[in-house]
Amino acid sequence: MRVLEGRVAIVTGAASGIGRATAITLAAHGASVLATDIDRDGGDETVRRIDAAGGCSRFLTHDVTSEGEWRDVVAAALRTHGRLDILVNNAGIAIGMPVTETSLEAWNRQVAVNLTGTFLGCRYAIPAIRQGGRGGAIVNVSSIAGLEGAAGLAAYCATKGGVRVFTKAVAKECAAARDGIRVNSVHPGIIDTPIWARMDPGLPDVDELRTRPGANALSPDVIAARGAPLGRAGRPEEVAAAILFLVSDAASYITGVELVVDGGWTA
């Protein structure tokens, strides 16, 4: 079912993980997708997969902390497709360390990407969506770390908690404007994505963790088995399915909510 036929979407952080899965899923359901990321090689691969499946996509190199680049990305959507209907603010980073060892530079970097990037996306996408007069949907990707604390991830938790409440405020602004724009957040739990390898430069990648005898204690599957009632790490496609629901007409009366996709972790 091509429930997004004729709609135009921007998906940030689309070079891998949840962003890639989301771009592929939205395109498979009919959306024309602008996939953005700082990783050109990964972004090109995402677009290759979409195109091979018969979808419509384009990759744009995009630093979400840059106001100028946000202007350019939104302008590209309007120039190419004449409209913008959907924004998925997914780009994010996680730097894991105790708060007493977190440098100001590391703190500011996480705030810039995770929180300021989300703000800038909404700041520039909302007027573009309003311009079409058809309404639209924004999904901001937060985390269960935006719902509860996690030792060693204080800065990450702060940014993702900020995304959660920011989303609710923007949802109320759009509702008050009667512009038909819905704004929701998604809160993934332990999802099997490359962010695990990036959290600490000393960690091997997820595939190596999974195949190593006695699996490393930081592997997504091991962590999820300790805390998620479903007993496994989630897949990026499972988060993408939740995002698809929120941007589709099936969620037409849903705004300002936090949809948790965590295998029961926070239950």
Question: CA-CA distance, 43 to 48, in Å (whole number)?
Answer: 9
Among 15, 76, 69, CA closest to 47: 15
Enumerate residues 6+ apart whose C-beta is below 8 A from 91: 12, 13, 19, 36, 37, 62, 64, 113, 117
Assigned token pair, 225: 């088995």
Contact 13, 139 (CB under 8 A): no
Contact 184, 258 (CB under 8 A): yes
Among 91, 116, 95, CA closest to 104: 95
Contact 78, 84 (CB under 8 A): yes
Alpha-helix residue ranges (DSSP H) falling in 83-152: 104-110, 117-132
Q: Mark whether 156 is an active-site residue.
A: yes
Q: Which of 119, 156, 166, 265 is catalytic?
A: 156
Q: Would you put residue 54 in left (φ > 0), alpha (ψ -120 to 50) or beta?
A: left
Enumerate residues 6+ apart whose C-beta is below 8 A from 205: 194, 196, 197
Question: CA-CA distance, 117 to 176, in Å (whole number)?
Answer: 24
Cβ neighbours, 10 Å, residue 104: 7
Helix H or strand E encompassing 30: none
Which of the residues are catalytic? 156
